[in-house]
Each structure stands twice: as structure tokens, then as C-alpha cells.
Amino acid sequence: MEGGCLCGKIRFTSSVEPKSVVNCHCNNCKRSVGAAYITWAVFQKDCISFNITPPTHTAPNRAVRTFCDTCGTSIAYWHPNRESVIDITVGCLDDPEKCPPERNIWTKKRLSWIEDPGDIPDHLIYP
Ligand SMILES: [Zn+2]
Ligand SMILES: [Zn+2]
């Protein structure tokens, strides 16, 4: 599985399929990407390799987000509490069709105008 940012400067590959795919409706994800929610593909961290080390931003809660410093694309997220996994924005994958979401998390922060198709489970916070 491969992907990268909008301008192509940052590319990554994975030797495996994601462990899971989730829609995150938390406020930090909304703000960081500038979107109503983010769909994350969750990978085993040591199975993802980047062509260059992407820039990072570390939030007060120690969450680390990576982005392209040329085009601004949000690429990945990891947190020291979940050391062995890395979340990749599904929109950065070359073939996002392969990664439909399996559940919604942080739905207590879901915007009222987001349609809930009801076909995948909701979790009010991080499960
Ligand atoms: Zn870029
Ligand atoms: Zn989130």
C-alpha cells in the first residue's frame, strides 16, 4: 500500500494492510486537518516507511502529527500511549477505496450536520 502528500514530496509505503480504519470526530483532528472529521487507517508502526522524515507537530497532549511543509497535507498521527501504531490519513493513500471505515470514534464531538449512515458502530470517545 502506498501514498503521499498532495505535492508528492512525502511518500510512504506499507508492507501490510491496515489493522483497522476509523472515522475520528474529535476536535483536534477537525482542527488539524481543517475538515469535519478524518478517516484514519491504523497501521503497525514498523510496517510504514517514509521516503524522507516528515516534519512533525507535537500537541500539549503529546500527540504527534506529521505534515508536508511544502503543500500542508496532513499525513500521520501517533501517540506515545499507542506506541506500536501509526494512523495514516486515508485521503493520502493512492487507493483510498480499499479502506472503508469500520467504526466512528469520538462521536460525542460529531458535528450535527454529519449524516450518520448507521451501518458502522459509534464510540462516544476513544474506545
Ligand atoms: Zn507535499
Ligand atoms: Zn481525532
pLDDT digits (tens, 9 = 90+) for 15-51: 999 999 999 999 999 999 999 999 999 999 999 999 9
Looking at CATH, the fold of the domain delimited by 2-112 is given as 2.170.150
Query: Residue 68 carries which DSSP code?
Result: -
Query: Ligand 2: distance of its center to the CA of 24 in Å?
Result: 5
Flag whether the pTM goes above 0.75. Answer: yes
3-state secondary structure of 127: coil
Q: Which helix (H) or strand (E) holds 32?
A: helix 27-33
For residue 65, which of 87, 43, 50, 82 has the smallest C-alpha distance? 87
User: Residues 126, 25: contact at Cβ < 8 Å?
Assistant: no
Query: Ligand 2: distance of its center to the CA of 52 in Å?
Result: 25
Instruction: Tell me which ligand sits closest to the C-alpha of residue 12.
Output: 1
Cα first-last separation, the chain: 26
Instruction: Tell me which ligand sits closest to the C-alpha of residue 92.
Output: 1
